[in-house]
């Protein structure tokens, strides 16, 4: 289990980022509940709200900010990454709307710098946690079914990225890019095309994929 220390300087903005993720997930769930003909339940929105809620419980919903908070990266890493992304883009938008001589601007710029520095440390911790994750054996029949599901997710993430790239809101691009990278990584492990002859480790190295992983 890896932990990451969140300093008081970034806690308020991370709370805002996590709360934004919570609100976004809730909005998606509300829309799905109102669309009675919707084919699929809002599973991703449910997962996002669960993650955001759990992270806010750790960071605190409001009130006084402690000097530091230790976050379990193995449990909160994904939610933390989403919250950082939302916080950075939200604060960037706030700064863009401030006049150059606004007395609040320097303080907001300092907050953004602190967030950027924390973002680098957090991403390294999350990547390290992923690298040190336990190796599991994936049976051949499970790998086949898993690959089919991953291809379906890959198609959806690709469509989301294509749609996001048609807008000017860069924050909309981050989520599908992260999804694509995670999917590419799993498909690299279990293999892209060939059916595995038997159980294999999820960390076995398959042949290099022909997909666009390096360009995600």
Kindly list the domain boundaries of the chain, sorted by start residue. 3-131, 137-215
CB 53 within 8 A of CB 109: no
Q: Say which residues have a Cβ less than 8 Å from residue 78's Cβ, sequence separation at least 6.
A: 51, 126
**Which residues sit opposite 33 in a β-bridge?**
none
Q: Is the per-residue pLDDT at 116 higher than 60?
A: yes
- Angle (nearest 5°) at CA 89 between 104 and 108: 15
Per-residue pLDDT tens for 142-177?
A: 777 777 787 788 788 777 777 767 664 544 566 777
Strand partners, 137: 201
Task: Of 37-41, 73-77, 95-99, 152-156, give the range with the top mean pLDDT.
Answer: 95-99
pLDDT at 155: 81
- pLDDT of 201 above 50: no
């Amino acid at each position: 289990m890896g932990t990451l220390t969140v300093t008081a300087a970034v806690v308020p903005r991370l709370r805002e980022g996590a709360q934004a993720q919570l609100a976004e997930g809730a909005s998606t769930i509300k829309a799905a509940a109102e669309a009675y003909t919707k084919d699929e339940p809002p599973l991703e929105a449910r997962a996002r709200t669960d993650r955001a809620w759990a992270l806010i419980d750790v960071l605190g919903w409001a009130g006084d900010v402690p000097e530091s908070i230790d976050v379990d990266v193995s449990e909160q890493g994904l939610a933390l990454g989403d919250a950082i992304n939302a916080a950075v883009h939200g604060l960037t938008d706030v700064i863009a709307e401030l006049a150059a001589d606004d007395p609040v601007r320097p303080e907001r710029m300092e907050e953004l710098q602190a967030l950027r520095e924390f973002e680098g440390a957090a991403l390294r911790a999350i990547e390290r946690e992923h690298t040190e994750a336990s190796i599991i054996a994936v049976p051949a029949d499970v790998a086949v079914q898993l690959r089919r599901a991953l291809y379906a997710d890959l198609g959806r993430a690709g469509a989301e990225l294509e749609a996001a790239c048609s807008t000017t809101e860069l924050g909309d691009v981050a989520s599908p890019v992260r999804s694509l990278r995670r999917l590419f990584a799993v498909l690299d492990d279990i293999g892209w095309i060939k059916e595995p002859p038997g159980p294999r480790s999820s960390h076995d190295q398959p042949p290099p994929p022909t997909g666009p992983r390096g360009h995600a």
